[in-house]
Structures are given as structure tokens and as C-alpha cells.
Structure 1
Amino acid sequence: MGGPHTTLAALRWPCDTCPAVPAALALAAGVQAALAWQPRPAAVAASLAWAALGLAITLIVTPWRRWRLLCLPIGMALLVIHDLQRPDAIAHALPRPACRASLTGVVRDAGCHSDLLDDQAEPAAIVVAVTRLRLPGQPADQPADERVMAAMPRGTRIAYGDRVALEGIFLPESPPACPEAFDYRAYLRNQGLDMLFKAHAVQPLGPPQGLDRLTRALLDLRDRLADRLVSNLTPGDHAGVLLAMTFGFRQTMPASVRDAFLRSGAIHVFSVSGLHVGIVAAVLGALLYALAVPYRWRHAVLPIAVGAYVLMTGAAPPAVRAWLMISVLSWSRACLVAIAPLNGVALAAIILIGAQPRVINQAGFLYSFITVSILILGWPLLTTLAADLCERQLWRPRRQRSQRLMRLVRGTTQAVGTSLLAWFGGSGLMLHLSGMIVPAALPVNVALVVVANLLIVLALPKILLACLPWTLPDRLAAAAMDALLESIDLLVTCGSAPAGSWAVPAAPAWLTALYYALLFAALAPRLPAACRRLSMALTVALLAVAVWAPWHRPALALVWGADCDVPVVALERPDRLPPVVLHAGTPDAYRTLDAWLRLRGHRRADALIVPWDARRAAAAATTATRALQPDTLVLPESTRAGSYLDRATRLQLQRGGRLRRLRDATPDGPAAQARWPGGAIRVETTPERRRFTLTAGRQPHLVDVRIDARSTGPCHLQLRRNGIPIGHSCDRPRHQRRLITLTLDPQQPALRSPP
């Protein structure tokens, strides 16, 4: 017999072996509910939805524990208490957003290194814990207790724990470039930082004091080890990649190499993450075992040694998460207490959220915990699959079994399966945060993990060989590491190619949440097999829908910069080919347009048109040419040597792109025109106005844009798609930057202007 109680009991989720999981989820829901709370109806509804989700999590799990109900209000209280401890006294003390000031504080950035690595780049910005503040007109310093991100002058050499005096200016907080774009203010706040400060002069005041001396000694040891590690390596990017992988020196990497790692889906190999901490823990554990350290002592000492390595690398959230999980598992073994791996992950999350509640909105935190949870849930499936593939060998007598074949099948299955699970675990966040899907990450990660294991395992012997008086062993080890780093470079180059790394429109948050709900349901061990197969099929289908993006509609974007009488224009073509960009604009205006293009899934342009050489239209021409990599660059007939357009021309020719010049359309008229395979442009310039006529595509996807920008008055826009008018007339905005988008849909014309 069935009834409501039977149905309710079937919906309840058993968590007897991992009670920390629902507690961590309810705690995170409480923090999100407090973050979403604002005096607006939509924000109130979002906050109540998060609270309802946290309450549902505590009610549907078994066995029932009353203390879980406290996790939701504790999460809300944690955020309130944390914000009360950070009163933003500096921001309130400033008479204006951009204000000169003198700061006294202590360097709290582990990325600073000593003179042993003087050939490696210093971080452009460091974290400083401010203790004293003096503003213009104040006779004496005022006490302060906040952390700021300080941009340092080029060539500044300071280290962790140094007491410094900074002279400079506080930078005003800039809003996101466009709605739903990356918010640097929120990023800094999630990192526990309050303000941006640009230092013009830096004066060291003294060495570290107190416990900072111990941390400084540990970081000095790191610098000595890093110096031995990169000795005799081939000059170039190899030393930077190796230092980033082993000790977390991310500032040693060029931006192009970092972008290639991101586009290939191998960014977790580039920075110190749970993979590296796990390999170091395995190596140290094997070393302690070889030294015959007793079982309980071995697992008691291992977290301390791994914690020292994590502190050396800067204590990034993924590395701290891995260290906390290793510590929980190791100390439980030292105490002879069994603990589920998923429970250890949840305990690590609870500790991190308790220390910094806003960490739950960091991309590294989400990526780390989601991926590790999926790997733990999917590992039994991989074990079962490997056992099934080796089943025929088990039928044979023990002496006739091929142990090498069984190990090969088991290792290959687990390596490929782990890469597949990690790919599914990271694809949702990649789609939502970066607007990318990387199919090439599947084969690339399988090979990269093997190479990364070899590099990290060889790092300790390489450091020991560098300490010997003979250079030949160190040179041979450096040659081996150069070969491994060259293979990483080859793999990343192949994985970041356009064929293996797709730029797509950023997925909305609700779609990402649904994707992960289906993925966790597909790996849930207690669901029926039919439900799990259905959930996996829906997960794959949802991922395909997110890549296809049927809700995406082509649009026209116009961005006005400060004191600009013509907008920067981006036209999306209905045939899903790359967009056409008219004007590069000022750096401020182009930053807005670039954020809009990336959110729409564009990393390159069909054409970049800059019809006149002036700062308002061409100041960002070089940046736009480098970032958009246009197939065709359209420029005026002549450009001045050393100008913005001259540098863009040289960059376009260097990369082998097409170059077109605007030619006079009539012998005695002010009009000029140019054509390229994807469209045409006509420009008419007079002292009173500038008129642009842009044609892109062919029937049935032909779009005509006509912009009539006068020196005073509104900007007239005429837009046609396949001869059907869609256009509007829009006034020039009065404030500094504004983005306007126009949907290219004759049935549903919509001019949207975000507030």
C-alpha cells in the first residue's frame, strides 16, 4: 500500500555516510540568500528562493538531524558578521572616488619573490594590508585595518611581510563593461579586498615581524627551490610555465600563453590546483613510506608537509580545498576512523565558507568543488567498467592471467573516464563564465595529466641535481624537462585551435544550474539505473542545446564613449558568421564592445572598419586588431606613420590578414567606399556630419545599416534586413558610456538600453 507518507519517504535522500554534504549545501544556500537580499521585489524573491532551497535540503535527507536546520541561518549570519568586520572605512573617508593618499602597511602577497628569481617578472599588483592612512590636508596618519590591491611601479622589488609606505592615488570603482559581463568590483570583494590603489612611489620601512618572519622564511625557501628548478632550462616561456605549474608564479606567464591554456581547457594544469597538490601528497606519502615511518605517524605528518607546499604556492582556493580534503582523510586514518571522500570534500567547503563566505561566488571555488564531487561520484562507475573489461582475464587461472594487460586496461579506462568526468564537470561553468566549449580538452587533458605528473615527480630530483657541484646531471635533467614542456606547448596549441575550442553565447545561470542538477542525478548511486540513464541523456542534450543556443538572436550594438559623436558599432550577421565591427573607438568604449562580443560568443570578426584616423575612432585599433583577429581590416587610403592605424596595419600584415583601403567613390565627392568578400562600406564625410552605409551578408541574410551622425543632435539609424526596415533613431547619450542593442528581427524589433 502507498500513501503520502510512503511518497515522502521515497523522496528523502539518505546521507548517513556523508552528513557534512547537506550541511555544506544548506550553509551555502544561507550565504546566497543573504547575498541576494536587496530592497527590490526581484531580489527579495531570489533571496526567498535560496532560503527555500536550503530548507528543502535539510528536510529531504535522512537520517533526520535537528542541527541541520541551523545551517541555513548560520550561513546568513556568517555573511552579515563578515561584512560588519569590513566597514569600508577607507572608502567612507575619501572625499572623492579618485583621491591621492599615503598608505602604510604590510605586503600580504605570496606572489612577490626575492632577488634569486630576478629574471622572472614581478606581479603588477599586490595585496597590501593597510595599517595607517593619510589623506591630503590631514596633519597625521589615521589608523586603518583593510586590505587593498596596489598596482606597483615597474621594477619594484618587495617581498612578503615587508612593511612599506606607498604614495599614490585611489582608483574609482568602474562598473561592469556591460550587463552580465565580468564585474571586477565583485571579484575584488569576493577576494576580501576593498579598494584599488595605484602607487607612484614605494618606500620599504622594515623587514617582517612576528609570525610573518616564519612565512617569509618559507617563501624564501620556495624561491631557492624555484631557482634550482629552472636552472639550465632553455630561455623562453618554459621556465614561466614550469614555475606556474609547480610554485604558482602566474605572473611569469605571458598573456598569450595564459589565454591558450584557457582556450584549450587546460587552465587547471597551468595553475597550482588540486591535481598538483594530490601529486605532491602522493610523492611525499611514498617518501615517508620508503623511510619506514609508522602508519599513524605517516598520515599525521603528511598534511603538515603538504600544507607547507600549499602556503609556498600562494594558498589558492583549489589548492587549499585539496589540502583540507587530504588533511581530513589523513588525520582520520591517523585516528583509525573511516570517513567517506565526499564527506571530506564537504568539510573542506564548510571550513572555507566559514573563513570567507563570499568565496562561494569565486569561479575557482565552484570549479574545484563541483569537479571533485563529480569525480568522486563517477569513480565507482569507472571501477566497475574497468572490472567488466578485465572480466575475461579473471576466468583464467591466476598463473595464466596477463597482469600487464589488466593494468593497461584498468589505467587507460580510469584515465579516459576521469578526463571525461572532469570535462563534463567543467563544461557548465565554462559555458556560463567564459562562453566556451572545448571538445579538444578530452584528448588533451588525458595526455596533459600524464605529462604534468612526470614534471612534478621529476621536480624534486631536478632540484637535488642542481645542488651538486657537477653541471652535467642538471643539464640532462633540464633537457628532459624541456622536452616535456615542449610537449605541453604542442598539446595546448592543438587544443586551443578554433576547431577544438568553440566560442558560443554565454549560457544563462538557470540553464547552468539545470545542467548540473541533471549531471549529479546521472551519477547519484541510489537512483534507479533507468533514471540515471535518462538524466545522462538529458545532460548531453542540454549541453548540445547550450552550444546551439536557439534563443540567440542576431543584434546590432552601438557603444558611445566620452565626447564621441559617432558610436562604435558591432553587427551580428544572421548567417552566424563572425560579426562586422565599425570603428575601434577609445579604449573605454572598446572594452564595452569587447565584453558584449564575448558574451555573445564571438572571438573574431569578419571585418574591422576604421574609416578615419582620430583618437575618438581609432585609439583602440591595435587592441581590437589583436583581440578580434579580423579576416579583413578596412582603413583609410593613407595613414600617418606611427599612428594608431599604422600600428594596426603592421599587426594585420604580420598575422597574414586581408587589408582593404577606402577609395574615392566619386572623382569630386566626399564619399569613399571599400568591399570585401563579406560586405561593403561607404563613408561620406562633411564638416557637419558623417554618414556610414554598411552592407553585410547576402540574400536571404542581407543586412543594411545606415548611420547618420551629426556633430549636434540625434544619431539617425536606418536598419534593414532583406529589405524590411527595422531601424530607429536614437539620441546620443549624455553620460560617459552607454551600450544600446537592437535585435535584427523584423517581427519583434526591440531597442534595449540597459540602465
Structure 2
Amino acid sequence: MPSPAQQIRAPLLWLLLPMMAGLAAAKVWPPPAAGLTLVLLGALGLAGVALGAAWFDRPRAAMPALVGAAALAGFALLHLREPRLHTGETRPPREITVTLLVTDIFGSAAGARSLGGLGEVVVAGDLDRELVGQRVYFSAIRRISVGPRREGGYEVRGVLEPLARDGAQDGFNDYLANRGVRLRLTRAQFIRETSPPGRWAQFTAAGRARLDRILSHGLARHPSTASLYLAMLLGEKAELSPAQENAFMRSGTFHVFSVSGLHVGVIAGALGLLGRTLRLPRRLEVVVTLVVLWLYVQVTGTGTPAVRAYIMIAFLLSSQVFRLPGNALAALAASALVTLLREPLELFSTGFQMSYSVVAGLILLAGPLADHWQTRWQPFALKPRPEWRWWHDTIASGGRKVIAGVAGCWAAFLASAASGIGFFGVFSPGSLLANLIILPLSSLAIVAGFLSLLTGLIGLAPLSALFNAAAALIIIASDWLLRHGTELPGVYYPASFRAGWLAPAGMAGMTAVLLAGAAGRWRKRYGGFWPPVVLLFLLLVLGVRFG
């Protein structure tokens, strides 16, 4: 049986961590005056040194060279992918007509006056040729616009201006900047469609509409519950009421509405169980699971959190099928590396930082902590095991499951506290209990939704309505618990960091402490499981302003 140290072995961290440092440096500093050629040559030279040292079995020389090569490569990668990163729009706001390829449409309520999204400029006038290829955020007036569709081309007229930073909008503008957007097109009018979406985009749009109809079947009289259900299964957060949104955000459970690791993981588990029930060969089961998950990610809008979760699960399942020496941390590192190679600016997004720090906490801390606590769970230690009856086994196994859940919630709380304060302005001690209750309920609702989609797609509408009703009951219970739970004192506190850099620094520091603790197997001589707690305490006391 492998040791704990072997189970968390992830060699890709030697590439991932220095590359992340290089990306962070590139976000702060522009490329050198001599250009990126010297940076690339330095990266290649250090990579050659690392290969040569490895060939001659000199690890002490190979590792520093490899780390330096990865850092320089990360620095060059971001500047090559985002050449306008340190150059802003110098021209004043002006009315302009361009042709946009719509790449994303943000959800909005049906009665909203405007519709927002992202697009890429494909055609511009002679005086604006530098705009071609740039990504822009648009806010279009519904009543005078042609309804845009993802992947469609449109002639658009509006006011072009630099992305503003005006305090109240900093969070959204940071999100846009981390998507490579530097310009916004406001008061826009979509005049006409110049090119329709491709066949695949039309297929995924039709698929999403059909999934929406299946999940809404039988819930027409319960619009509030249906909005939570659609938000949970398809990520349609625009359907949430302000009261629903506040209750889930203050309780630290808003992540259930982002199609991400929870959704993809639960559906992957359900597909695996279905494959084993049908006695499919293991490799065929994995192929079917990955294909169905990929379709689900595409139909729900290819959200970045869902893509990240899909990549991680793909690595993990592939390592199991092909019997490679993989583990959850190695899959997480591979997923992060592929994600950053695809889109380097993801490193600075709230979703990337929160999701990877929380999953790292679950992998590094939750399992060892649960094992540590479970060794002390001996409810019938004085009774010989052959004399146990069914209720003895039920209490013992149930206690172990509760302990594992508490350990997971505690690890997620420690890993996410800094991001909750920094990005949402809320410190939620109540998230410990809320996640312990809401996550199992949400998982049941997601499984019921998956079964509803499965039966609905094969034409079994009555069964689909039955599963929708079961999910609705679970959601009603969750909504009631959170609405009343967040009214209790001490569940959440408005909070903010005294300096903006403390949020990413706190997350990075917590992840480093978790990595160090796991590498030391959480031995008592290194502080046991207390260093993450001490770090969070210091952050709260020295760096956070409450109220």
C-alpha cells in the first residue's frame, strides 16, 4: 500500500508553480526593452541545462534550472498571448460601428432592458483597424437590437470606451480584464446578423433549450423553485431572485450554482454507477462518461469552471484506466497546467483561484484529517466485533461518514475563507454547517436532475416529472434552511481586507501551508493540523476589517 507521501506525489508542480510565478510577474511588469527574444532564449537555455543535468544524474542542478525555465516561459507566454496587456486605449469614448463575433452571452432576466456579453472584433473601419482581433464587452439595448446568438457574427453600433475602474464595478471589471477584455461597447445596437452561428453552436443551443424544457416539466406552478433548479443544473444564475442569491452567498454555498467540480463530479459518479450497473467494460465506461460530460459542459455554455473540472476528471479517469501512477493532486496539477496553457489570464480570475485552492485543501487536508479523527471514533470499543448487530455497524459507519464530511467542510472553510472575504466581502463561519447540510442535498438534487434529463431524453416524460418533483422537494428544503439559517447571529459577517493584495496572498499562503503539511504527513513535530488554523487566525486578526 502506498504511503501518504506517495499518494500526494505530483511532479508537475515543479513546472506549474514557477510558471504561475512567471505569469504573475508578467502581469506586473511589461516585457523588457530588448523584447521577449532574450526571455525565450533564457528559458530554452535553462531547459537545456535541466535536461543535461538530468541526463548526468545531477538533480541538484537540474531542479533550479527547470524552475527558472518554467518561470521565464510563463513570463513570455502571457506577453505573447496578451500583447496589449500593458497598453491601454488612449482614444476618448466614441461612437463606432464594427462587426462582432459573439463569443459569450451573459444570462439576464427576461424583462431586463439590456443584454451583456463578450465578442471579438472581426471587421472595423479604416480608422479603427487596431481593434480587429480585440475582445470587447458589449451591453446591448434589447428593444432596438437583433437578438444575438453565441458564435454568430453581427454588425453592431455603440459607444466604445476603455474598461472603467470605478469602485463599485471593480469586481466585474477585474473579471473582464482577466478574460483579456480592455474595451467596452455600451448603449449598443445589434443592427443585423452578418453570419449565423455554426452547426455545432446551433446544436448546443438547441440542446440547452431541450434540457431547459425537460427540467421545467411539471414545475410551471413553482417558478421560484424552478429558478433554483435551473440555476443548479444549468448554471442559469440570472433566474435567481436577490433573496435567493443573498442567502446562498452569505452561507458560503453559492458555488452550487456554478457548473463546476460539484456538478461534473456528481454526474461523473452517476454515469460510472450506471456503467457498472450495465456491466460495461471499464475503458468503455470511461469513454462514455467523458463523452457525456463533454456534451454537458458544451451545452451548459462551456463555462471555465466546468472546463477546469472536466480536464481534472479526464486526467484522473485516464490514469486509472491506463494504470498510470496518478492521484488526485497530480490530476489537479495537470488540469491547472493545461488550463493556464490554454488561457494564461485564468490565473488571475476569482474562479480559478477559489476552485483550485479549495480542491487543493480537500486533497491535502480533508483526507488525512478525516483519518486522524476516525481513528478516535470507537463507539463500541468494549464490545467484541462478532457480537455487533446491524445497528452497531450503522452507527459506526455513519459516524465515519459524518466525520469525513466535517473534515471536508473544515478543509474547504480554511481554504476559501480568504477568497470569500476578498472577493465577496463576507466571512461565513456558518458555511461549515451549511456546506455539511447543503452539499449532500445539492448532490441529491443534481442526481435527480441527471435522471430527469436521462428519462426525458428517451421520451419517458412521466418519470422525468417525477424526478423533477423529487429535486424540487430537496431544493425547497435547502432554500428554507438557508433563508432562515442566515438570519441567525454569527452565520456571516461583512468583512474586507485592509489591503487588496492580502486576498491572493492569503490564498497562496494557505495553499503553501497545506502543501507543506501534507509533505510532512501532518506530523505533530511540524504542528500537526494546526498551522492552517494559525494562519487563518493571523489573517483575521491582523488583516481583516469587520463591519
Does 2:82 align with 1:80?
A: no
Take 1:313 and 1:153, find their aligned partners in 2: how far apart are those partners? 25
Match of 1:457 in 2: 447
Alignment CA distance shift 1:165-1:349 (3 Å): same
Partner of 2:339: 352
User: Which residue, out of 225, 228, 240, partners 2:211?
Assistant: 225
Alpha-carbon shift at residue 104 of structure 1 (Å): 1.1
Alignment equivalent of 1:543, drawn from 524, 533, 536: 536
Contact 2:233 2:257 in 1 (8 A): no
> Could you report, residue by residue, the CA deviation over 1:701-741 in whole angstroms, capped at 9, with x for unpaired residues?
xxxxxxxxxxxxxxxxxxxxxxxxxxxxxxxxxxxxxxxxx
Return the alpha-carbon distance in structure 2 between the equivalents of residues 123 and 451 of structure 1. Answer: 35
Residues 437 and 547 in structure 1, CA contact (< 8 A), matched pair in contact too: no
In the TM superposition, residue 69 of structure 1 has moved relative to its aligned partner by 3.5
**Equivalence for 2:312:** 325
Which stretch shifts more, 186-195 or 73-82? Answer: 186-195
SS in 2 for 1:130: strand
Deviation, 1:469, is 8.3
- Given candidates 496, 502, 508, the residue that maps to 1:505 is 496
Partners of 1:109 and 1:127 within 8 A in 2: yes
Amino acid at match of 1:126: G
Deviation at 1:538? 4.7
Determine the C-alpha separation between the residues in 2 that align with 1:484 and 1:122. Answer: 33
Whether the aligned pair in 2 keeps the contact of 1:341 and 1:376 (CA below 8 Å) is yes
Once the two structures are TM-superposed, the CA of residue 411 in structure 1 deviates from its matched residue by: 1.6
Matches within 5 A, 1:286-365: 286-365=273-352
Q: 1 or 2, which has the higher strand percentage? A: 1
TM-score, scaled relative to structure 2: 0.82
CA distance in 1, matches of 2:205, 2:425: 37
**1: CA distance, partners of 2:24 / 2:447:** 40
Structure-2 change in CA distance of 1:111 and 1:390 (3 Å)? farther
2:385 to 379, 385, 396: 396
For 1:172 and 1:128, the matched residues in 2 are separated by 15
Change (3 A) 1:28 1:200: closer
Cα offsets for 1:465-520 (capped at 9, x unmatched):
65798976555444333322212212322343353111123254356254544444
> What is residue 150 of structure 1 aligned with on the other side?
138
Q: Given residue 75 of structure 2, which amino acid in structure 1 is its aligned partner?
A: M
Give the corresponding residue for 2:39. none
Cα offsets for 1:194-220 (capped at 9, x unmatched): 3111244223425645xx321330232
Pairing 1:263–2:254 present: no
Measured at CA, do residues 200 and 528 of structure 1 come closer, stay the same or move farther in structure 2, by a change above 3 Å? closer
Instruction: From the superposition, tell whether residues 286 and 79 of structure 1 become closer, same or farther in structure 2 (CA, over 3 Å).
Output: same
Rounded Cα–Cα distance in structure 2 between residues aligned with 1:281 and 1:330: 10
- Say if 1:261 and 1:270, in contact at 8 Å, map to a contact too: no
Cα distance in 1, alignment partners of residues 272 and 201 from structure 2: 24
1:505 is paired with a residue of what secondary structure?
A: strand
How much does 1:119 deviate? 6.2
Pairwise CA RMSD of aligned residues?
Answer: 3.8
Cα 1:174–1:158, aligned 2, differ >3 Å: closer, same or farther?
Answer: closer
SS in 2 for 1:416: helix
Unaligned runs of 5+ in 2: 32-42, 54-58
Higher relative contact order (CA 8 A, sep 6+): 2
1:444 alignment partner, one of 410, 431, 434 = 434
Deviations 1:267-298 (A, max 9, x none): 11122121111001111122222222211222
Which residue type is aligned with residue 318 of structure 2?
Answer: W
Find the aligned partners of 1:426 and 1:159 in 2 and give their Cα distance: 35
Shift of 1:229: 0.2
Secondary structure at the counterpart of residue 194 of structure 1: strand
Q: Which has the higher helix share?
A: 2
Instruction: Say which is worse superposed, 141-150 or 160-169, in terms of deviation.
Output: 141-150
Shifted more, 262-271 versus 400-409: the winner is 400-409
Is 1:214–2:214 an aligned residue pair? no
Residues 357 and 473 (structure 1), Cα distance of their counterparts in 2 relative to 1, 3 Å cut = closer
State the shift of 1:159 in Å: 2.1
Contact 1:515 1:539 (8 Å CA) reproduced: yes
CA separation of 1:501 and 1:324: change in aligned 2, threshold 3 A: same
Aligned mates of 1:18, 1:470 — CA distance in 2: 45
Distance 1:120-1:279 versus aligned 2 partners, 3 A rule: farther
Q: Is the 8 A contact 1:523 1:532 kept in 2?
A: no
Q: How far apart are the structure 2 equivalents of 1:220 and 1:465?
A: 18
| Overall identity of the aligned pairs, in % | 24
Q: 1:389 to 1:224 in 2, by over 3 A?
A: same
Gaps of 5+ in 1: 1-12, 40-50, 553-599, 603-755
Question: In 2, are the aligned partners of 1:16 and 1:62 still within 8 Å (CA)?
Answer: no
**What is the number of equivalent residue pairs in this alignment?**
511
Question: Residues 274 and 62 of structure 1: is their aligned pair in 2 closer, same or farther, counting only changes over 3 Å?
Answer: farther
The superposition leaves residues 499-545 of structure 1 with CA deviations (integer Å, 9 ceiling, x where unpaired) of 31111232543562545444444444445322133xx4454344344
The residue that corresponds to 1:46 in the other structure is none
- C-alpha spacing 1:144/1:522, structure 2 compared with 1 (3 Å): same
